[in-house]
Structures are given as C-alpha cells and as structure tokens.
Structure 1
Amino acid sequence: MNESSVVAVNNVTNWSGTCYVTPLLGAFLADAYLGRYWTIATFSTIYVLGMTLLTLSASVHGLKPLCTQKDACHPTELQTGFFFAGLYLIALGTGGIKPCVSSFGADQFDDSDEVEKKHKSSFFNWFYFSINIGALVASTVLVWIQTNVGWGWGFGIPAVAMAFAVVSFFSGTRLYRNQTPGGSPLTRICQVFVASFRKSGVEVPKDKCELYETVEEESAVKGSRKLDHTKQLSFFDKAAVETQSDRTKDSPDPWRLCTVTQVEELKSIIRLLPIWATGIIFSTVYSQMGTLFVLQGNTMNLKVIKSFEIPSASLSLFDTISVIFWVPVYDIIIVPFARKYTKNKNGFTQLQRIAIGLVISIVAMLVAGTLEMVRLNMVKEHNYYELKHVPMSIFWQVPQYFIIGCAEVFTFIGQLEFFYEQAPDAMRSLCSALSLTTAAFGNYLSTLLVNVVMDFSTRDGGPGWIPDNLNYGKLDCFFWLLAVLSVVNLGAYLLVAKWYTYKKALGPSNDVIP
C-alpha cells in the first residue's frame, strides 16, 4: 500500500490489538448462545472471506494500487477500503477462533475417563506445537513468496489453506462432543454481585448444606456441572442464603437468590484474576522479541555468508524452532521423568509448570542483558560508537530466543490448560479469551516501561537507555530491569499460587453428543 513507516506501524499495532479484543466477543457468544462448534464454524468462514478479499486486493486489476515505479503506489479510497475490509474481517474471524479452538479440542476428552483425561493434558502441548509449525511455515516460505513472487500468491496460498481447514473442521461434525451454551455468563456474574450486596446484612449459615442449590442432579446452568462450595470469598455466599421472602415465591428471583454453583462460578473467575495478572510481566518479556531484541540485533554483524545478511527480525525463527523442539521433549521425556518424583499423572501441576516457565524467562533476560553488556564493552574498548554494525555475530542472540521458546512451552501452554481446567464449564471460552489478553497488556506494559525509562534516563540531557544509536545507550539496564520485575512477579505468583483453591466439580461433564 506504500504507506509511510509511522502510518504502517500504527495500522499494524491497531490491527494486532483488535485481534486480541475480538476474542472477548467470540468467547461471549460461544459460552452464552452459539456454543463453541457454531462459533468456530461461523467465524472461520468470516476469516476465509477476509483472506479472500485480501487476496483480491493484491491480485485484481482495479483493486490493487497502481504502481508507476518501484515503491511508488497510489491507492484510491476504494482500494484502501477494500484492503482494510479484508484485514478487519480477518481480525473478526480471529475473535471466534482464538478462544474456542483449544477449548473445543479439549472438550473432546471425557473428564470421567482417566485415560482420556491424561491425554487431554498432552493435547494442549501438541496443539501449541501445531500452531508453531504453522508460524514456522508462515515466517519462512510465505514471507519468501510474498517478497519474491508477489502479494497475490502470498495471500492466496494461506486463503486456500484456511478454506481447506474449514472443510476439514466440518468433516468431523458427526464425531464432535459439544458443550451446551449456558446463557450469558456476564448476567450470572452480575446476579451474584447484586444478590450478595442486597443480602449484605444476612448471616451465612455454618452448615453450608443449607445454602440454596437445585435439587436436580444437573446444574441450573446449562452445559455446566454443579460446583462444590469453597470457603474463600465467603461474602458472596450471602447470594445463596435462602430467606423467608425467597421461600414464599413460586420461583426464586435470580437477582435475589443464586445457587451455590452460580456463586462458585464467580469465585472461580475472581481466583483466576491474580494468576492472570502475573502473566502480564511474562508477556512483557516475551514481547521483547519483536522490539528490543530486533533493535539489539540491528547493531550486530548480520552477515551469514559474505554476500547474504539475515534480517534481525528473522531470528524470532529460533523461538519457533525452540518451541517445536521443547514440546516433544516435554511431553515424551520430561513428563514421564517428573511423574516418578511428583506422583502427578501430568508430571507437574499446571501452577508448577507456569512457575518453571517464569523462572526460565528470568534467565532469558539475564542472558540478553549479559550479551548487551559484552557488546557495549566492545563498543567502548574499540570506540565503535559510530559503527552501524559491531563486529559481533547476530547469532549470539540465538540463546535468548531459544530460552524464551522454552519458557513458552512451560508458561503459555500451562496457562492455556490451567484457564481451561479451572474455568467454570459454561465459561471456558471466555476464560481462554481472558488468558489471551495478557499478551495485549504485556505489549502495553512494555510500551509504558520504555516511555518511563526514557523520560527518567534523559532528564540530565543524556541519550538515555534506549537512544536511536544503541551504542550510546544502556539497553542492558532495561533487560536487568525486566529481570528484576520478573523476579518480583515470580514472588507474587508463588504467593498467589499457594493461596489458590482449585474448583471442585461434582459429577461428569454435561457433554451433548450430536
């Protein structure tokens, strides 16, 4: 589209941000009304439509910008509108796919069957593995096609691939286990808040069996198992206290009286929030691969051979390769080995797995900081301040990318499984979407930290920690800062994890097999 760098960067970040907001919409529709199957089916079709428009925008004469000479294209309003319509249809389609696919896949395993339950833990590993296989192909083969063949083919190939994916998804329709949508989760949460505050003066009985619950075996919430009472956040138990006025009514007012299961749904969400918050710092560390790691790499020797230079952004491939390496190692080697000592069928609990990833992310920042310190010492020793590329190979960055990939396998996959397992049955898509928002907040926090650090470090008129010429900066100090924040975050996480109470579901899941 021949946009300026600033406009293009803003458009990319706006679009990326939208891709992390729309999952909240898709997750809400899945849990409340459509169910995960129809949400995936509907939104993946929208995704294919968006990819098709994008392909046409880059291929069809009249829809693609007129280029009079190299890098001089002048898109019309129609062409720009058509292009962005395709782009944002993809963002909308993503909203229904991101929060539902992993949850829908996990739904296919029966929690009441120990063998299937064990396989479900492996499913999350291999699901994340397949995502990274796709990322590897996209960042190598497709980028080469887009650069050397053309954008029409570069967009057309993934459009066709996505169409095949949709056909593949529909082909298994008769085999799927589907969760029944449970109605608006936001309404149920608000009802507990309102009912508990309206009964703030009511005393909760000591015998929790006296709290209100439906007499039927199944929960009043469609698609959800009953949840056993937990002692934490006892204030909300007031919503389940049955008063004399409640007993006189033919049917209880849901804004005055809620079931124990409904109260426990809210408690489960509240208990998840501190774990969710500790994921933001990890996402901040992860986001450095697309920002400061790239800037650091730009100052180093980019040559692979005499006639070929590797773009610094391409080193993120080693993160993808790391994930592809560590997933089978974790599933085939680490889990069986850990199982002997922890006696846990999954090797580690989900909270333990996340904690290990947080520790590894600290190591990644220490390695990145150490590399930058060595690079700056070389600059100082040889007076390389005005040299664009310091004679230090960019491949010295590979360890920090590889370590972050290892941390991903522990923390991101652990979070994926944890949020699925600990979410109420009828809110699993919404909680999966909630876990995705840590990535967005991690990017926002990274931007905030950079701005604060630059404001603070340039007060005396100096170049600051992250100047345009990093040879005059102190990028290593920023990596040390992230390492310190990660250590503090790990301490907070360990406290939260110790306090955490796992949900207690009663009975088998209410799967409906069409």
Structure 2
Amino acid sequence: MIILGFSTGGVKSNVSPLMAEQYTRTKPIVKEVRGEKKIIDPKITVQSMFNWFYWAINLGALSSVITTNIEKYHSFWLAYLIPMVVFTGSIAVLLVGRHRYTRKAPSGSLIIRVFHVTIRAIQMRWGLGKQNSCQHFLDYAKDNLSPIVNDDNQPVMESNNNQFIEDLKQALSACRVFAFYPFYWICYNQLVNNLISQAAQMNVGPLPNDVLQNIDPIVLLIFIPVFDILIYPALRRTDAANRPDLLSLTV
C-alpha cells in the first residue's frame, strides 16, 4: 500500500502539469478556420486539453471490461499481465521522448506564498482595524506585501501579488464545494465495493459483476465531447461562465 501511495501520488502530481507545459502559447491569436476568423485563447485551449485528457483516462478505465472477462473465463495472471504491459509501454514513451518535452523548473511553493499573504492580511487587519474597510479579509494584504523573490532571486511584481490574492480569493470561494465531498464519495465508492458484492448475488447473465463500475467511464466518454464541443462554448457566450464564484464552478 505504501508503494502504491507513492506511485499514485508521483504520477498524478506530475502528469497533468507536464501535459499543460506542452502548450507554450500565452497570448490569444486570431486564426482563420474555414474562411472564418476565430480567436484562439490559451486558457480555453488548456481547458479543452484537460477535458480530452480526462476522456482518455476514462477510455483506459474501460480496460477493466476486458480484464474482468479474462479473469472470469481464462486466468488471473493474464488479467494482471495486460495492465503491466500497458504501464510499461507508457513509461517507455516518457523516457524515449523526454528530450522533446517542454519541461519547466519548479518556481517555488504556492503554499508558502499563501501563508505569506494570510499572515500579512492578519497583520494589516489588526493594525488598521475599521479604518480600512475591505470587502474581503485577504484584501488587507494588497499593496502591503513585503518583497517576495522566486527561485531565480527575482522580485515578484506588486501587480502580480495583487492578482495572486484575487486568484486565492476565488480558490477559497470554490473550496466551499468540498463540504459536500464526504457525501459524494460515500455514494460513489459503493460502485467499487458494496454494489459489486450485491451484483455477485444477482443474475447478471454472461457479464461479471465487476462490470458495474464501468458505468462511470462509459457515461464520461459520452458526455465529455458533448460538453467540450457544445455546452461549454454555449456557456462562454453567456455571463454565467465569466463569474468567478461557486456558480461558475457548478456550471
């Protein structure tokens, strides 16, 4: 379990940033597509990349349909051999192409910067009291942060500090959704334990009871393209997608 924990943590914390780093454009550009000029926004492009990245993950999750049938009708060793070959191949792809990937050096810890902003906001709030009425607690740290340097010993611009505070405020607002996560995971985890055990006691025909957990990736494979191609572009034309609060996250 310890090895699995380190392995999963190492993969999940590095693969997604590595994928995002491959898109290096930072400014919108105008491109003509089929005779029509369109604006290519880097942020929206990265969002779409992660949508299809998650789609590919769920495509791989459907491999359990094959392995569960192999385990039922053939043997366990072959069912374990298939994912081992796939993971070995993915590691080989990363190693072979490592010199072609865009790799950025770490630029410091966001956690330390968050603590720095929070402590400064407390200090300013305590010192100013009601003399400076701010809409948000973290606003007290705006224009009052001591100089911060990055890993290259270059000072962080004050405007970047203020933008970081705005981003932090949005992140804290969105974190309210985590209050419902315990209830979500209690229900979701039934797919990998209790419901599978219950299906084993039912008449499932030629299908193994483990197939039940594949309902989730099948639904995602269907709806991710629908949302990325149809629904999200439609929402961007409205004001709902531009609101930096929990509503936009919910949408």
* TM > 0.5 fold call: yes
Select the residue among 88, 107, 128 that pairs with 1:163.
88
Counterpart of 1:322 (choices 215, 219, 224) is 219
Structure 2 counterpart SS, 1:301 = coil
Query: What amino acid sits opposite 1:273 in the alignment?
Result: C
Q: How many residues align?
A: 223
Query: How far has the Cα of 1:240 moved from its partner?
Result: 4.2
CA contact (8 A) 1:240 1:263 kept: yes
Q: 1:344 to 1:97 in 2, by over 3 A?
A: farther
Provide the C-alpha distance between the structure 1 equivalents of 2:163 and 2:129, rounded to a whole number of angstroms: 19
SS of 1:283's partner is helix
| Shift in CA distance, 239/204, structure 1 to aligned 2, threshold 3 Å | farther
TM-score scaled by length of structure 1: 0.36
Kept in 2, the 8 Å contact 1:107–1:179? The answer is yes
Is 2:241 aligned against 1:349?
A: yes
The reply to whether residue 124 of structure 1 matches residue 50 of structure 2 is yes
1:268 Cα offset (Å)? 4.0
Residue 202 of structure 1: SS of its match in structure 2? Answer: helix
Q: Distance in 2 between matches of 1:204 and 1:238?
A: 11
Percent of aligned positions that are identical: 24
**2:175 aligned residue (273, 276, 279):** 273
Q: Do structure 1's residue 190 and structure 2's residue 115 form an aligned pair?
A: yes
After superposition, give the CA deviation of every residue in 1:149-181 in whole Å (9 maximum; x if it has no partner): 343x44444333222212212344344344442
1:140 aligns with 2:70: no
| 1:108 aligned residue | 22
1:99-118 CA-partner distances (Å, limit 9, x unpaired): 33233323333342342634
For the pair 1:293 / 2:195, whether they are aligned, the reply is: yes
TM-score, length-scaled by structure 2: 0.67
Quick one: distance in 2 between partners of 1:312 and 1:145?
Answer: 13
Q: Distance in 1 between matches of 2:224 and 2:161?
A: 41
Q: Counterpart in 2 of 1:392? A: none
Q: CA deviation at 1:236?
A: 2.5
Q: How does 1:388-427 map to 2 (within 5 A)?
A: none
Partner letter of residue 224 of structure 2? Answer: V
Aligned-pair CA distance for 1:92: 0.8
Gaps of 5+ in 2: 29-38, 148-159
Question: Separation in 2 of the partners of 1:161 and 1:141?
Answer: 13
Q: Please list, as runs of the form range in 1=range in 2, the aligned pairs for 1:449-468 lying within 5 A after superposition.
A: none
CA contact (8 A) 1:106 1:120 kept: yes
**Cα distance change, pair 263–497 in 1 and its aligned pair in 2 (3 A):** closer
**Alpha-carbon contact 2:121-2:139 (below 8 Å) kept:** yes
User: Aligned pair in 2 of structure 1 residues 205, 112: CA closer, same or farther (>3 Å)?
Assistant: farther
Which one has the largest radius of gyration?
1
SS at match of 2:66: helix
Q: How does 1:229-240 map to 2 (within 5 A)?
A: 232-233=135-136, 235-240=137-142
